[in-house]
Amino acid sequence: MPELPEVETVRRGLALRISGRRIVRAELRRPDLRRPFPPALAARLEGAVIGGLGRRGKYILIELDADGVLLLHLGMSGRVTTGSAALPAARHDHVVLTLDDGTVIRFNDPRRFGLVDYLNRGETARHPLLAGLGPEPLGDEFDGRYLVKALAGKLTPIKAALLDQRIVAGLGNIYVCEALFRAGLSPRRLAASIGRGRADRLAAAIRLVLTEAIAAGGSSLRNYVQADGALGYFQHHWAVYGREGEPCPGCDCAEGVRRIVQSGRSTFFCAKRQR
């Protein structure tokens, strides 16, 4: 389940391998993912020279030539692998790009919640998928002062508010649970009830869990990629996510980590530490 740290890890790994290379072949092995591929995508990709790689929330932006951008979203199950042409396309390899040095990039996505789009660089900020995104949680704009303002009047649990990409871009179910635990805030607390003090703690916790996860991804990237070329997932230790019934870390409460369902999603938390 790629969230901001996994996407950032993929971006960094990809940048090392494909920046400056020319795409010599683009194979679209189906016409769509979550939505249809844009018209003439293969033709736009073939011959293009790859520039820098950026990220906005959970989207990867790959600069092509002087004015193009390839937009990728990994959805739930998307993976990007780099390798040689020797490997035949596997099941769920939906987009396969061959570069001028023989590198083959494969976008594999079993559940097909991912997305591929092509845009002109000038319209990046206005693109419908990007325009409404909230600030980058690791950027200068994001802090307690911003959060208080963004959450004001929201009669929804803080858990749901943080999953809303318009409030802050890049968090998913795992890192929201982890950040709320680190901040000592109940996932059920109404967003509007978060004042400056709690917002400061929450913003700091969000930055911390993301920064730590990116560091873990970076350190595991080298070995992981050598194993099978896959970028997108790495082993990481969660404090509460997926740990229902286990002892709460750093707390001796009898109940341990609890799981509840909020807006159809699992939330993991400690009822004693998080208020």
Partner DNA sequence: CTTTCGTCCTGACTGC
Partner DNA sequence: TGCAGTCAGGACGAAA
Q: Please give the structure tokens belonging to residue 216.
A: 């873990």
178 phi and psi angles, rounded to 5 deg = -65, -40
Report the alpha-carbon distance of residue 271 to residue 30 in Å, rounded.
Answer: 46
Question: Is the CB of 125 or the CB of 261 nearer to DNA?
Answer: 261
Sole residue written with tokens 């901001």: 4
Helix (H, G, I), strand (E, B) or coil at 193: helix
Q: Please give the structure tokens belonging to residue 226.
A: 């050598």
When asked if residue 131 is in the footprint of DNA (CB under 7 A), the reply is: no
Residues 60-79 that bind DNA (CB under 7 A): 73, 75-77
User: Active-site residue 58, yes or no?
Assistant: yes
When asked if residue 264 is in the footprint of DNA (CB under 7 A), the reply is: yes
CB of 45 to DNA, least distance (A): 22
When asked if residue 144 is in the footprint of DNA (CB under 7 A), the reply is: no
Question: Is the CB of 48 or the CB of 57 nearer to DNA?
Answer: 57
Question: What is the DSSP track for 118-173?
Answer: EEEGGGTTT-HHHHT----TTSTT-SHHHHHHHHTT--SBHHHHHH-TTTSSS--H
Sole residue written with tokens 């009898």: 254
* Near DNA by CB under 7 A: residue from 5, 13, 57, 229: 57
CB of 132 to DNA, least distance (A): 7
Question: Is the CB of 16 or the CB of 152 nearer to DNA?
Answer: 152
CB 133 within 8 A of CB 106: no
Encoded amino acid at 68, one letter? G
The 8-class DSSP code of residue 88 comes to P
Question: Is the CB of 99 or the CB of 239 nearer to DNA?
Answer: 239
Among candidate residues 22, 25, 189, 265, the one labeled active-site is 265
User: Active-site residue 265, yes or no?
Assistant: yes
Interior/surface letters 27-49, b for 16+ CB within 10 angstroms, e for the rest: bbeeeebeeebeeebeebbeebb
- Segment interacting with DNA (CB under 7 A) among 93-101, 139-147, 200-208, 259-267: 259-267
Residues 86-115 that bind DNA (CB under 7 A): 91-92, 110-113
* Near DNA by CB under 7 A: residue from 39, 153, 245, 250: 153
Report the alpha-carbon distance of residue 46 to residue 120 in Å, rounded.
Answer: 16
List active site positions.
2-3, 58, 265
Applying CB under 7 A, the residues found at the interface with DNA are: 1, 3, 34, 57-58, 73, 75-77, 91-92, 110-113, 129, 153-157, 160, 163, 165, 172-174, 261, 263-266
